[in-house]
Amino acid sequence: MAASRVQVPKWVQPQTSKEKLDYIELANLDLSKFDDPTTRKELAKEFFTALTTTGFFTITNHGISKVDWDQQMDLAHEVMTMSPEEKKPYEVSCEDDSKGIYCGFKIAGGPGYHRAVDWFNMLLNDKVADRKVPPALAPYMSETRKIMHHVRDFVQHKLLILLAMSLELPEEDVLATHKRGECSSEYYRFSGYSPLTKEEKVKSRGLFMPGHADWGTFSILFSQTIAALQVLDYETGTFKWVEHVPYALIVNVGQGLELLTGGLYKATIHRVVTPPKDQEQELRVGLFYFSRPNDDYMMLPMASSPVLKRLGFDNPLDPEHIFNATEFLEAKKHGYMKPDFDVDKPKDATHVDDFRSGDRYGIAKPLVSYGPGSGIKVQ
Ligand SMILES: [Fe+2]
């Protein structure tokens, strides 16, 4: 069977930028240290440090082979380079979109969507068993499902155990917050960021995605060669570039984990900007997995954690708004906890931010401090 499949065209990623960029220093968690109890303890300490400083880190020895990794990159490139007409039959329907079921390509030119940003979402827990996917991807869905579930059941699983260790909680209590099949918005995503025209660049302030925090627990990105991702450095209060690490996963903390830890592990502010000059005309292809709590999980601090108690992070961050995970996503879609972080790229008087068209919560303040020196200093 496999021999008769159409071979996925090999995609050679663009060269890394030669420009001297101000990169942020990220910790690396080597998951090969997980199996031995002694080195696992070290890893839990490294996890704690990474999550109380930048909230961004890389992962190596994640169990995805180079062959499988490259195949996913090739598939993502094939899917993201389909024409708008070819993509159309696989767009999320307006009905599903309004119900929060976001599967397939985003609606081209829909409200709040940046034209140059394109996504293809695959649900990990898809209620539709035989959902149609583009022809280039269809013969490779079993491999693709294997990878997305590996990221969930191997990488995320280990991160949740490290989370339990770092909070001195029983691991089964933490694992129960992310039960298999209990989250309807757990996605694996291919993304494509097309080069901006001169006009688009001015209109968007050179931002593909403005500064924001993701809403889930962990966002896990497959590192790729085009520099565009920036992270807010709490030491300086400025955005710094994230450097490509071949075959490493890049992880950032989302607001879900911030709420579950009362702000100890705060969500990291990041954005996607125009790549440096020598990569500006390239399509930036991305691969992501978004980790999220169970739909009905209440987004409150895991108050039985001795660590959260000891450090004073055991209270709800926003007692006025207590949501479960589904309600929190809905609130996020309508502007909850979405301040403007791109103060270094001021808007002119005529600027209209399409992303804010459906906001109910207005320009909300973040629940934790993100200013210079706001990294949490604990031993
Ligand atoms: Fe993000």
pLDDT tens-digit series, residues 316-345? 999 988 999 999 988 888 778 777 788 788
Q: Look at residue 2 and tell me if it is in a domain.
A: no
Q: What is the predicted pLDDT for the residue at 153?
A: 96
Q: Ligand 1 centre from 271 Cα, in Å?
A: 7
Q: How many domains does the chain have?
A: 1
Q: Ligand 1 centre from 44 Cα, in Å?
A: 24
Q: Ligand 1 centre from 216 Cα, in Å?
A: 10
Q: Look at residue 367 and tell me if it is in a domain.
A: no
Q: Ligand 1 centre from 307 Cα, in Å?
A: 28
The pair of three-digit structure tokens given for residue 14, joined into one six-digit string = 């663009």
CATH code, domain carrying 224: 2.60.120.330
**In tens digits, what is the pLDDT along the chain, a chain of 379 residues?**
544 688 899 999 999 999 999 999 999 999 999 999 999 999 999 999 999 999 999 999 999 999 999 999 999 999 999 998 999 999 988 788 777 778 899 876 665 556 778 899 999 998 888 899 999 999 999 999 999 999 999 999 999 999 999 999 999 999 999 999 999 889 999 999 999 888 888 888 888 888 989 999 999 999 999 999 999 998 888 999 999 999 999 999 999 999 999 999 999 999 999 999 999 999 999 999 999 999 999 999 998 999 999 999 999 999 988 999 999 988 888 778 777 788 788 776 555 555 555 555 654 667 788 777 777 766 5
Q: Look at residue 190 and tell me if it is in a domain.
A: yes
Q: Ligand 1 centre from 186 Cα, in Å?
A: 14
Q: What is the predicted pLDDT for the residue at 357?
A: 52
Q: Global pTM?
A: 0.93
pLDDT in tens, 199-224: 888 888 888 888 989 999 999 999 99
Q: Look at residue 107 and tell me if it is in a domain.
A: yes
- In Å, how far from its chain's centre is CA 366? 18
Q: Look at residue 49 and tell me if it is in a domain.
A: yes
Q: Ligand 1 centre from 229 Cα, in Å?
A: 9
Q: Look at residue 12 and tell me if it is in a domain.
A: no
Q: What is the predicted pLDDT for the residue at 99?
A: 73
Q: Ligand 1 centre from 199 Cα, in Å?
A: 24
Q: Look at residue 188 and tell me if it is in a domain.
A: yes
Q: Ligand 1 centre from 52 Cα, in Å?
A: 18
Q: Look at residue 223 and tell me if it is in a domain.
A: yes
Q: Ligand 1 centre from 63 Cα, in Å?
A: 24
Q: Ligand 1 centre from 294 Cα, in Å?
A: 20
- Output the 3-class SS for 161-205: HHHHHHHCCCHHHHHHHHCCCCCCCCEEEEEEECCCCHHHHHHCC
Q: Ligand 1 centre from 1 Cα, in Å?
A: 38
Q: Ligand 1 centre from 341 Cα, in Å?
A: 13
Q: Ligand 1 centre from 309 Cα, in Å?
A: 29
Torsional class of 263: left (φ above 0), alpha (ψ -120 to 50), beta (otherwise): left
Q: What is the predicted pLDDT for the residue at 331?
A: 86
Q: Ligand 1 centre from 270 Cα, in Å?
A: 6
Nearest CA among 155, 292, 162 for reference residue 218: 292
Residue type, 362: G
Which letter, b or e, does each residue of 338-348 get, where b requires 16 or more Cβ atoms within 10 Å of its Cβ? bbebbeebeee
Tell me the sheet residues that pair with 281: none
- What is the C-alpha separation between 325 and 328, in angstroms, rounded? 5
Please name the residues in contact with 44: beta carbons below 8 A apart, sequence gap of 6 or more.
162, 165, 166
Q: What is the predicted pLDDT for the residue at 257?
A: 96
Q: Ligand 1 centre from 221 Cα, in Å?
A: 10
Torsional class of 61: left (φ above 0), alpha (ψ -120 to 50), beta (otherwise): left
The pair of three-digit structure tokens given for residue 275, joined into one six-digit string = 């790549």
Residue 213: which domain range? 27-356
Q: Ligand 1 centre from 254 Cα, in Å?
A: 8
